[in-house]
Amino acid sequence: MPTKEEMMKIEFSKQQNDDRFRPWFHFSPPSHWMNDPNGLVYYEGEYHLFYQHHPYGNKWGPMHWGHAVSQDMVHWRHEPIALFPDEHGAIFSGCCVVDWNNSSGLFEGSHGLVAIFTHADTCPKTGRPRQRQSLAYSSDKGRTWHKYEGNPVLTESDLIDFRDPKVFWHSQNERWVMAVVAGDHVRFYGSKNLLEWSLTGEFGHGEGSHDGVWECPDLFELPIDGSGRSKWVLIISIGDHPDYPEGSRTQYFIGEFDGNTFINDNPADHIQWLDYGRDNYAGVTWSDIPDADGRRVIIGWMSNWKYANETPTGDWRGAMTLPRVLSLTSRDEGILLIQKPVREMEKLRKESKSWNAILITPEAPFIQKMQDELLEIEAEMDVRSGSEIRVKIKSSGQSETIIGYDPERQWLYIDRTKSGVTDFHPSFPCNHGAKLVSEDGKIKLHIWLDRNAIEVYANDGLIAMTDQIFPDAPLDQIEISVKAGQYVLNSLHIHTLNSILIPGDSTEWESRRVEA
């Protein structure tokens, strides 16, 4: 029988092992399971992040809405669980809006937050899965929630997959619009009061990728560069399918929204991906960011349904990507989505080192020993020599993750086959990438390295790639090398980063429950 001291050592060792892969500047839950971001809304000085949460296990289970708030989208404070399962079922994904004009009549002449989400249960008559849309509302900045007594507010009895509502106010039509997915397409509904909804249109049959079930829609308008024109962006996540190695991922469409339905600008078979890494899914944007700010900001679940339940993180499981500002740019190949981490991330910079005009040859790679494992790396490279260049992130053990660029193939890639712990699922160790055309013979890379994640933004956010990694030891070296010829590294900046401390823990979460 172990002594008390021995038990404390065992528990401490377990905690250290559980937390060795916990990110230090990406958001993660205090404990147990987390997946899709939900209810992203800005209200009275706070950014709210709700998320799919199973508070009693580290694998997907009965869904609740976890909750955190922030003033800058970087430093977060955990709040008690916002929404619990009830007589209508588990609480699947959804959104929040600010009902500024009390169109719902739920706020007695004032305004407040309304959550629109999917209730998921089993139909007692048929025994089939059932998904219906419901409401909850809060008059105290999201701290306590009341379920609407008339739930559910939208049902489609002939649909099994019918979930993930995203709602916004359409000022031209003076009504609320809901985008909700139905298996292989998205449906649009209109409402004057958030309580009564009518179908206005459908989109998606035969459009884009159908490698998996459609999930987590989002629809919003963005300006194109400084042209004075704008386009609507429809984001659709695609669930895992056993025939496709990429697993779950996210596509986007560019087009118009006429108040009733979305019209695609591109041919039906034209596919545009939000992220070319393996670990960015179910991303949606914040609503009600003030016009004075003007940004459209997205965050995604940093995992993949191929292996999400198996990642080696211990008691907790799941993290979010960095929050990213979205914009549109017009290129020869069409209108494309640009992604850049929010400027608030610069608050984490601790120390910076810079180099210019570094000549790199096979015999003389650039090597920098590191004392910190949280890094932001900015590099501009002249790639006209035609040789492949590699940025290697090495640990003090045997792990290495490679960000590479092959100018001949115009191919940017991440190789995580030797990134550390990879044996928990056969799909995890992989080399994958995207086409990247150099600009004036140069490419730019902006790399963010956390303890369990790497995010790469190329050519000012034209390409984004997000991957989890589980190194066997902390990072201790950056190496930039070439196979042949020579490269000129025009500029290189390495910033070490502070970690974020998230107040609150799981013991606080049970202290306040939602009122049914």
Distances in Å between the Cα of 514 and the Cα atoms of 51, 54, 76, 102, 233 are 15, 16, 21, 21, 34
Q: Is the dihedral of CA 65, 301, 95, 344 positive or negative?
A: positive
Give the amino acid at 462: L
Catalytic site residue 36? yes
Q: Say if residues 474 and 395 touch (Cβ distance below 8 Å).
A: yes
Q: Which two tokens stand for residue 149?
A: 């007594």
* Distance in angstroms (rounded) separating the CA atoms of residues 181 and 154: 13
| 497 beta partners | 349
What residue ranges in 44-112 does DSSP mark as E strands? 46-54, 64-70, 76-83, 90-98
* Distance in angstroms (rounded) separating the CA atoms of residues 9 and 184: 51
Total Cβ atoms within 10 A of residue 319: 23
What residue ranges in 171-280 does DSSP mark as E strands? 175-181, 186-191, 198-203, 214-223, 230-238, 249-257, 262-264
* Distance in angstroms (rounded) separating the CA atoms of residues 261 and 162: 17
Helix, strand, or coil (residue 344): helix
Map tokens 């459908």 to a residue. Answer: 202
Q: Angle at CA 269, nearest 5°, toward 211 and 266?
A: 130
Residues in the chain: 516
Three-state helix/strand/coil letters over 457-496: EECCCCEEEEEECCCCCCEEEEEEEECCCCEEEEEEEEEE
Catalytic residue among 36, 240, 275, 415: 36
Q: Say if residues 21 and 42 touch (Cβ distance below 8 Å).
A: no
How many CA atoms does the CB half-sphere of 182 hold within 13 Å? 21
* Distance in angstroms (rounded) separating the CA atoms of residues 378 and 398: 25
Give kind and range of the element (H or E) at residue 137.
Answer: strand 129-138
Active site residues: 36
